[in-house]
Amino acid sequence: MEYVNESTILKELRESVSKENKEENNPAQEQFVRMLIKISGGKKCLVVGKQTGYSVLSAAQSLPEGGQVFGVDFHQEYVDEAYKEFFEKSKVQDKIKTIIGNHLDVMDELTRDHHDETFDVIYLVNGDVLQCANYVERAYVLSKFNGVVVIGKNMTGDKAVLDKLHKQLKGDSRFDMSVLESGSLTVLRKVSPQ
């Protein structure tokens, strides 16, 4: 993946995950999400189903000063591993808030705590495949107008689930939708000289 810009700490985390035979993130997909965060100018992100912490750490590195990413996961052990070994080394730990619990319940709780319509980017990484449409409904409530919701391939499970979701979303006037095929789109962001 020579064309992927990945920080040293993200690369270390990904390689550690690979050694432990855990499901690893796609660095190119994560780079695309980082670019969306930067293009949006967002300061507040929600990452659901963060697993090893790669997506949360990646989002935190993309946020400006004062930005915050909420990372939601079922499993305390994933959080402990990522937090102890990599979040502390990242220099963006202060941007990360970790929440453990059932994804949909946590999303409902965020709405009750007045986080509705406050998230610039919501990244649905992993979760209950059969509940994918319910994740999208909650993401709609939590995202700002013009906010971005990214649905990762692990969220939808298999092609049949993905096709069903796309058919539902295609007819949903609340969203503009674009489906990206792996490797078929290149997006550039012009950055200022340093």
How do residues 150-192 score in pLDDT, each as one tens digit?
887 766 666 777 778 888 888 888 888 887 765 333 444 445 5
Q: Cα(138)–Cα(104) distance, rounded to whole angstroms?
A: 8
What lies within 8 Å, CB to CB, of 69 at 6+ separation is: 44, 45, 46, 47, 56, 59, 60, 63, 95, 96, 97
State the residue for tokens 């855990």: 22
Q: Which two tokens stand for residue 183?
A: 């490797």
Highest mean predicted confidence (pLDDT) among 59-68, 114-123, 154-163, 170-179: 59-68
Q: Is the dihedral of CA 162, 170, 38, 108 positive or negative?
A: negative
Q: Cα(76)–Cα(101) distance, rounded to whole angstroms?
A: 9
What CATH code would you report for 8-190?
Answer: 3.40.50.150
The 8 Å CB, 24+ separation contacts for 163-169 are 165/132, 165/133, 165/136, 168/133, 169/136
List the chain domain ranges. 8-190
pLDDT of 192 reads: 58
